[in-house]
Structure 1
């Protein structure tokens, strides 16, 4: 007996997400270099926060030099961290693209579910992707697949403990890296 399409899509998505997390743990998170760089980024960002919270009024030139040195260290560590992040993205991309190909061959042009609502514009395009003459409430495999990845992946990452510490996430996000780099190149703010 074949599984209904929505159950198969959700089940396969969960399986692939779990597979990606296991492969990430095996090939990225368990390496000594990854653990070291995460610990170094965490320690450096905490020290930088401690210096910044001391206040701008009580900073001496030695503290400013120390803060600038920590900013430079954090910039280099963030760059090195992205080597491991790219390995994780490569594993995830190959797994999700393979899963997408399998689902596309099975469910191309077929409505896999009826939504209890009519999706609004940006989501309706995704919900009706590759459907021939879609109804207002029809759902393609693409919509269900994307929703599964958005909703399930963070929860599985939390359960498996593969989420990064908050300081590391904050220190390695693109916005803080660009602002830190801008501070270092212009010499302002420190």
Structure 2
């Protein structure tokens, strides 16, 4: 199987089984791109998500384009992007056709109520992944393993705390938050 077809099918699978958008995709991306296929290391994956977040457009789409380009150039970027878009496009068209039928359907409402906590869990898994790669010096799961190393990356925790404080103030534009975090990273982590 060609790498382009493999990328298309990989991102189509991720898209088909994700509810909740880009952040809910992160654990699936991590599993497929790092663990299963070995396209990226954990550090490369964390950098990819950060870049995908900073560039215009949806996180998932930017990530698919980035990974596709790194694996197979322009053709790979197109394959990853189209793979991620195809299931969503088909499902959106089907939903538009049947929206009146399912709008008040109690079974559909129950299914959606069940999916919401799953989306929250996927987003929480993404938060834990990023904590493992930026705030902790070893994976969080090592806390509960006897004899395993675990520690806190104090510069990463400081950057995290400052970022949270800036965001919660509600008065500072996100661009300034990113610039401050980047400058602190260059000063403290270089």
> Structure 1-normalised TM-score?
0.30
Decide which structure has greater helix share. 2
Name which one, 1 or 2, has greater alpha-carbon Rg: 1
Identify which of structures 1 and 2 has the higher relative contact order when contacts are C-alpha pairs closer than 8 Å and 6+ apart. Answer: 1
> Structure 2-normalised TM-score?
0.30
